[in-house]
Amino acid sequence: MRWLIDLNGQQPRALEWAREFFSEYDTSLLAWIRIDRGRGKYKGAYGRCWFPNRRIPYYRISCQVPGPFPCDLPTRKSPVYISPDGSHPPFPPGTRPGDRVKDMRTGREWIRMLSSTRLRTLDEAIVWLLAHEAFHFLRRTRQVPGRNTEIQADQFADDTLRFYLTGG
């Protein structure tokens, strides 16, 4: 696996953390991890995990951290399900409602719940984003439990950032 780092000469502490984090897993199917300042299109932090395909039979992780920091990164939380009578439980603290969705097959309805994670520094952005994208790779290769959803990737990243911030 190759590390492709282009942070304009900066060497954040999170890079050492990232190498240690990945040393705990089998990365033989991971071609590279790229961490850079982005392409100028977006602010904050964003990334992607590419799955293998016929042309490129390896996973790849790309993380862009253009900042500025601090920034609030939108996150997804577990949905709130709507009862047949139209009622629903209270929204969890720290969340706000998103789209209302209906499964046309089953008739079940829910409200997507949104929140945000505060990324105060470049280090925090690298840790959170790398953990989020790593979850997709790790789940797909069955190295961590769960379902490969954005909700669970966001939760994995939030938990990993908390662990990092407490010195873990």
59-96: pLDDT as tens digits = 999 999 999 999 999 999 999 999 999 999 999 999 99
**One domain for residues 110 and 139:** no
What pLDDT shows up at residue 128?
Answer: 98
Q: With a cut of 80, say whether residue 168 has pLDDT above it.
A: no
**One domain for residues 21 and 104:** no
Question: Mean pLDDT across the stretch 107-132?
Answer: 97
**One domain for residues 94 and 110:** yes
Domain count, the chain: 2
**One domain for residues 131 and 67:** yes
**One domain for residues 67 and 40:** yes
**One domain for residues 56 and 81:** no
For 52, the token pair is 């293998």
**One domain for residues 62 and 88:** no
**One domain for residues 55 and 102:** no
What pLDDT shows up at residue 16?
Answer: 95
Question: What region does 96 belong to: left with phi over 0, alpha with psi -120 to 50, or beta?
Answer: beta
The Cα–Cα gap between 163 and 168 comes to 5
CA distances from 59 to 23, 33, 125 (A): 16, 9, 21
What pLDDT shows up at residue 40?
Answer: 78
Share of the chain above pLDDT 90, in %: 96
Q: 167 falls in which pLDDT band (50, 70, 90)?
A: confident
Question: Mean pLDDT across the stretch 125-142?
Answer: 98
**One domain for residues 84 and 146:** no
The answer to whether the predicted template modeling score (pTM) of the entire model surpasses 0.85 is: yes
Domain residue limits at 52: 2-71+117-165
**One domain for residues 11 and 54:** yes
**One domain for residues 62 and 125:** yes
The Cα–Cα gap between 149 and 51 comes to 14
Question: Mean pLDDT across the stretch 152-158?
Answer: 98
pLDDT in tens, 19-50: 999 999 999 999 999 999 998 788 999 999 99
**One domain for residues 32 and 43:** yes
CATH of the domain at 62: 3.40.390
